């Protein structure tokens, strides 16, 4: 089944395949058309080093159409606790993946995040994201190398390295059910904006700043120390500038545990997010995140 980055922590899959292994093999007896539905709950939605749920819990529902186990299209809706409207934003994705052999596969996708107009200033502006991923099975670990770009005026770029080790229990309940584990560590690199603040102090002989000075670009605060026009007033102006760079953003660790059958997957995932940069203007999310997901195959 589709791996959906919308329900992810730095693009780690919260929705997993009903039958998933490190060594991916094409499904020879699968019907050409498949349909899945899913729902879940999470304590925070962290994506590309930022929280897009506003550091609050969320719930979701999703529908996925698959064609020949390679092409997938997904539509989903997200609800945030104590937020109006009820559906805060929507997600749409188109994915294609291809398995070349037992140790190498590729995938690519385009994802659209559409926020409700009333929440654009509170949460985030709607955006589109695209990525391309290489999957390499080393037998002991499975590595995903993913490069992506956020399509906007700045065209922010991201790169991720994810290592995981999938294993599962023997099948039980008439050999139709198993329990799987997929511990992982994910490293995210991306575009960073570093804030730099400088303070300029100057003296004027009037109560207010002279009109000929005009507006000072980039000022975040202005404080005057004198309120008497007869006495020279000292004015301090703080200027904040933002420098863009590419570097380490975060590392996260997780352990998804899933109950799998031919018709459904029920999963619990615990993860810990650790930001690798420190900036007061753009603080990275930190801490434990818990996710519950249920995926059901319609046909």
> 288 or 218, which is more confident?
288
> 265 or 208, which is more confident?
265
Q: Which residue in 157, 155, 177 sits closest to 168, CA to CA?
A: 177
Alpha carbon distances (Å) from 187 to 144, 179, 282: 11, 26, 19
- Residue 145 pLDDT more than 70? yes
Cβ-contact 250, 274 below 8 angstroms: yes
> 69 or 208, which is more confident?
69
| Least confident stretch, 39-53, 203-217, 266-280 | 203-217
**What is the rounded CA–CA span in Å between residue 99 and residue 120?**
39
**What value does the mean pLDDT take over residues 134-158?**
92
Q: What is the DSSP string of the chain?
A: -PPPGGGBSSS-BSS--SS--SS----TTS-SEEEEEEEEEES--EETTEESS-SS-EEEEEEEEEETTTEEEEEEEEEETT-SSSEEEEEEEEEEEEE-SSSEEEEEEEEEEEE-GGGTTTS---EEEEEEEEEEE-SS-EEEEEEEEEESSS-EEEEEEEEE--EEPPPBTTTTBEEEE--EEEEEEEEEEEEEEEEEEEEESSSS--GGG---TTEEEEEES---TTSPEEEEEEEEEEEEEEEEEEEEEEEEEEEE-SSEEEEEEEEEEEES---SSSPPP-EEEEEEEEEEE--
- pLDDT for 121 equals 86
- Residue 239 pLDDT more than 80? no
- Residue 222 pLDDT more than 50? no
| Least confident stretch, 71-75, 165-169, 211-215 | 211-215
- pLDDT for 24 equals 41
- pLDDT for 200 equals 58
Q: How many CB atoms lie within 10 A of CB 12?
A: 25
- pLDDT for 158 equals 95
Per-residue pLDDT band at 280 (split at 50, 70, 90): low
Per-residue pLDDT band at 41 (split at 50, 70, 90): very high
**What value does the mean pLDDT take over residues 147-160?**
89
**What is the rounded CA–CA span in Å between residue 197 and residue 238?**
7
- pLDDT for 236 equals 55
- Residue 170 pLDDT more than 70? yes
Average pLDDT score, the chain: 79
> 292 or 236, which is more confident?
292
Prediction pTM value: 0.74
- Residue 240 pLDDT more than 80? no
């Amino acid at each position: 089944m589709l791996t959906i980055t919308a329900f992810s922590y730095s693009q780690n899959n919260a929705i997993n395949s009903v039958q998933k292994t490190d060594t991916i093999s094409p499904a020879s007896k699968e019907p050409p058309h498949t349909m899945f539905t899913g729902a879940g709950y999470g304590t925070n939605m962290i994506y590309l080093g930022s929280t897009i749920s506003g550091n609050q819990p969320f719930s979701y529902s999703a529908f996925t159409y698959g064609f020949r186990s390679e092409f997938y299209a997904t539509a989903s809706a997200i609800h945030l606790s104590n937020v109006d409207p009820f559906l805060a934003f929507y997600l749409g994705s188109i994915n294609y993946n291809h398995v070349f052999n037992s140790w190498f596969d590729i995938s690519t996708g385009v994802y659209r995040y559409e926020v409700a107009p009333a929440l654009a200033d509170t949460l985030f502006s709607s955006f589109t994201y695209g990525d391309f991923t290489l999957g390499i099975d080393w037998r002991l670990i499975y590595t995903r190398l993913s490069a992506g770009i956020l399509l906007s005026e700045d065209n922010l770029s991201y790169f991720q390295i994810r290592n995981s080790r999938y294993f599962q229990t023997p099948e039980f309940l008439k050999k139709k059910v198993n329990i799987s584990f997929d511990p992982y560590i994910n490293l995210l690199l991306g575009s960073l904006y570093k804030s730099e603040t400088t303070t300029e102090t100057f003296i004027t002989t009037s109560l207010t700043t002279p009109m000929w000075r005009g507006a000072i670009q980039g000022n975040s605060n202005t404080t005057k120390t004198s309120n008497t026009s007869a006495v020279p007033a000292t004015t301090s102006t703080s200027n904040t500038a933002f420098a863009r760079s590419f570097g380490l953003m975060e590392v996260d660790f997780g352990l998804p545990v899933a109950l799998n059958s031919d018709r459904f997957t029920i999963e619990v995932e615990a993860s810990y997010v650790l930001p690798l940069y420190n900036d007061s203007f753009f603080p990275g999310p930190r801490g434990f995140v818990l996710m519950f997901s249920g995926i059901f195959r319609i046909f």
